[in-house]
Amino acid sequence: AEPTEVWGNHFTALIAPAAVNQWLSGFFKRDVQLRWLGPQLTRRVKRHDAVPLSFADGYPYLLANEASLRDLQQRCPASVSIEQFRPNLVVTGAAAWDEDSWKVIRIGEVVFDVAKPCSRCIFTTVSPERGQK
């Protein structure tokens, strides 16, 4: 395992074999490494230090509301798809922007704390299919 950092959080990760990284570097036309966490996750975040975390940026899930997306699509001249926000969970049946006031979300027997709204970066302007703006 090699030292790794994600958003200022230091932990160890495994690195793919050189042949894999050479192929990926050729594909992306820059030096890259494929890293992963083995069965023993070593990364933790301060708020929930008992819960192991992989490469998420501190918030392992992102919820999006279809009604909010529809409202955004009506206001935005550019074509916007829900995939551009890369959510893990998509809700239907709620009014647009209701999610801004939610404190917890329950799906079946699982209760999620709502940590904070997500301020998406430039990735929303990148096509998930083509990897280009």
User: Which run of H or E residues covers position 35?
Assistant: strand 35-36
Quickly list DSSP for 36-67. E--SS--B--GGGTTS-B-SSSS----EEEHH
How is the chain split into domains, by residue range? 2-48, 63-125
d(CA 8, CA 59): 14
pTM reported for the whole predicted model: 0.62
What residue type is 76 in one-letter code? C
Q: Which residue has the tokens 């329950």?
A: 106
Q: What is the mean pLDDT of the chain?
A: 85
User: Which run of H or E residues covers position 91?
Assistant: strand 89-91
Residue 78 Cα to chain centre, angstroms? 23
- Each residue's pLDDT tens digit, 73-124: 999 888 888 988 889 999 999 999 999 999 999 999 999 888 888 876 666 6
Beta bridge partner(s), residue 111: 106
Looking at residue 86, what is its pLDDT? 85
Looking at residue 61, what is its pLDDT? 85
Q: Each residue of 67-100: b (16+ CB within 10 Å) or e?
A: bbbeeeeeeeeeebebebbebeeebeeeeeeebe
- Each residue's pLDDT tens digit, 14-45: 999 999 999 999 999 999 999 988 777 777 76
